[in-house]
Amino acid sequence: MSEPSTPRPEPVRRDPVHRGPWEALTRVVRCPVCRDGLEVAERSLRCPQRHTFDVARQGYVSLLSGAKRTVNADSAAMVQARVAFLEAGHYARLTEALARTVASVEPRGDDSVVLDAGAGTGHYLAAVLEALPGAVGLALDASQYALRRAARAHPRAGAASWDVWRPFPVRDGCVDVVLNVFAPRNGAEFHRVLRPGGVLLVVTPTERHLRQLRDRLGLLEVDPDKEERLERTLAGHFVRESTEALEYTVELSGQDVENLAAMGPAARHVEPEELRARVAALGAPVEVTASFGISVYRARDHRAGPADGCPG
C-alpha cells in the first residue's frame, strides 16, 4: 500500500484589487504619471497609456512605484505601537467626535468621497465612513506598514502609497471631505481636490496635550504658534467654520505610555532601551491629559476651471 502523498502548499497569490471601493474611486483617482484616469484591472490599477500600478499582497495600491520614497514614513514598530494604543481606546473620544462632526457637516452621505491624507492605519477614516453610510474613502500614506492596515480598515476604503507633499493622484474637485489628523497639511492640494464648498477637517494637539509626559519622555513640544501656522497654510483656500475643543484625562499603564511615545516622532529620537527606562521611572499608572482641536473648514471656490475635473 503506497504512502499518501504530502499535499503541496498553496502558492502565495497576490490579492486582487478590492473592487468594492476601487470601482467607485476610479472616478476620483488619476494616474500620477500622465494624469489620465485609472481603471481597475485584476491585480492593478491601469490608465489608457498603460501605466500600471500593482496591488501589494497586503491589499494597498503602490502608486509610488518607481518614485522616491519619503524618509520619514512610519516604521513597522511605530505602526505596531499605534495600533496597540488606539485599540486600547485611549483616543476613542476623539474618534467619536471626529465622526460625529463629519456627519453633521457633510449631508451628501451615500454620494460622498472622503480622502484621508496621511491616513496612517486608516483608524479615523474607518470611523468617518461608519458615520457616512454609502460613502467611499481613499487613504493616502507613505508608510507601507501603515497601508497594510489601512487597506483592511473598512470595506468601503481603498488605500494607496503616496507622499502627501506631492500633488495628489486625485482629480480636481472630486472629493467631498478631506481628513487631516496629526498629518502634514498640503493646503493647496486639499483645496484642488475638494469640490467647491467641500469640507476639510483638521485635528491638531493643543499645548496641553500629553503635558505630563513631554519633558520626562523627550516627546516633541507642541509649537505654540501652531494655530497661526495652520491659518497661514490654509489662508486663501479655506474659510474656518468652527473649532471644537476636546480635552479629557486618560489613565495609562506603563505599556500604554511606551506605545504612545513609540508611535510618534519621539521614536526617531529616543532609543528603545532609553525610552523603556524613562517609562519605568514614571511609575504606573499615569494620568495624562489628551487635548485636541477639531477644526472645520470650507473650500473657497475661486478656480478658473479645473483641467481634469470629476467625470459625470
Residue range 182-223, pLDDT digits in tens: 999 999 999 999 998 899 999 999 989 998 888 777 675 666
Report the predicted TM-score, pTM, of the whole model to 2 decimal places.
Answer: 0.88
- Cα separation, 2 vs 269, in Å, equals 62
Residue 119: inside a domain: yes
On the CB side of 173, CA atoms within 13 Å amount to 16
Residue 35 dihedral angles phi and psi, to the nearest 5°: 70, 15
pLDDT of amino acid 268: 67
Q: Is the pLDDT reported for residue 283 higher than 90?
A: no
Residue range 45-100, pLDDT digits in tens: 999 999 999 988 889 998 986 545 555 789 999 999 999 999 999 999 999 999 99
Residue 27: inside a domain: no
Q: Residue range 135-145: average pLDDT?
A: 95
pLDDT of amino acid 118: 95
- Cα separation, 169 vs 131, in Å, equals 25
Residue 6: inside a domain: no
Our count of domains for the chain comes to 1
Residue 12: inside a domain: no
Q: Cell 475661486 maps to which residue?
A: 302
Residue 308: inside a domain: no
Residue range 235-254, pLDDT digits in tens: 888 999 999 999 999 999 99
Residue range 157-174, pLDDT digits in tens: 999 999 999 999 999 999
- Cα separation, 79 vs 65, in Å, equals 21
Q: With H, G, I as helix, E, B as strand and everything else as coil, classify residue 193.
A: helix
Range of the structural domain that residue 290 is part of: 68-299
Residue 34: inside a domain: no
Q: With H, G, I as helix, E, B as strand and everything else as coil, classify residue 72.
A: coil
Please report the beta strands in the chain, taking only residues with DSSP state E, as ranges in sequence order. 39-40, 44-46, 52-54, 113-117, 136-141, 157-161, 175-181, 194-205, 238-252, 286-299
| Contact by Cβ (8 Å): 176, 249 | no
Residue 210: inside a domain: yes
- Cα separation, 257 vs 241, in Å, equals 34
Residue 179 sits in a domain of what CATH number?
Answer: 3.40.50.150
pLDDT band at 12 (very low <50, low <70, confident <90, very high): very low
Residue 28: inside a domain: no
